[in-house]
Each structure stands twice: as structure tokens, then as C-alpha cells.
Structure 1
């Protein structure tokens, strides 16, 4: 769709600022943050044994005998396994 759109100056300036912030975030090239299995367990609220037994579902790297987990992989795993159930209570 072509045409001319009118946008208030303050709205346009806000949008430009937000796009610049996103651009800076994307271009910053921050490396992934890795956690040990004990730190991953603390983040997820599970035992370290559970983390090690389920590492193939979360995603992991090995460095020597050490296992490391990306923070974003842990967050993605938790989000993918999040279920919200709405209760159907009578009278409420």
C-alpha cells in the first residue's frame, strides 16, 4: 500500500530512538553467556543431577569434562515447556 502517512513528531522521534536502540543491541555482538551445571540448576530450580540427566533436551557444550549451558538455551527450554492452565472454579 502506497501513500503518505502523517505521524506526530514526538511519535516518530520515539520510534527512531527505539529502532536505534535495537540496532545497537543487535550490532553489539555480545557473546553468549554460559553457565555451569550447578548455576543452570540454580537458575531453573532443579537439582544438578536432573540438569545432567536432561542436558540433551536443554542443549549444552562440553569443554574437557565440564558441561556448560547457554543462558538463552535454558530460557528457551523453560519457555517451550511453560503451560498455563486456567482453572474453572464455580462462583469466582
Structure 2
């Protein structure tokens, strides 16, 4: 494994949420624009890592990264639910 970061993330997620949290989820969940914004605001307000933010909200760290990227590049409108064919 080229990086220790996935292992670090798995350990933190398991410590915070239990081992069952590490089981791969098969469903695709849609999040509201308000929820996405609250995640970003929590991350900024508490000045914590994206990983710790994801653990707190029990979502994927890649989801937090995506929302922060879209917010920084497109503003609040970038957090709207995407439609089919939207390459945002």
C-alpha cells in the first residue's frame, strides 16, 4: 500500500463509530444543500480536518472534500443537487 492514510482514516472511523461503520455501504444517499453547507461551516468553524469532519457527520471523507471543492469553486450554488449530465 503506497500510503498509510487509508489505514489512519479507517482506524479513526472505527474508533469514533464502531467497526460496523467500516462496512461498505451499497446505497447512494442524496444530501440537501443545507446539510452540505452545515458540514462545510462546521469544518471551518471548528478548524478540524476533513477526516474529522466526515467522522463527526458519519459521511465519507471524499464527500467532504468534494463539497468543499465545489463550494470554493462555485459558491453555494455548487452544493445544489446535481442532475443527470451535470459535469459540475
Q: Normalising to structure 1: TM-score of the pair?
A: 0.24
**Which is higher, the Rg of structure 1 or of structure 2?**
1
Structure ranking higher in helix proportion: 2
Q: Normalising to structure 2: TM-score of the pair?
A: 0.24
Structure ranking higher in strand proportion: 1
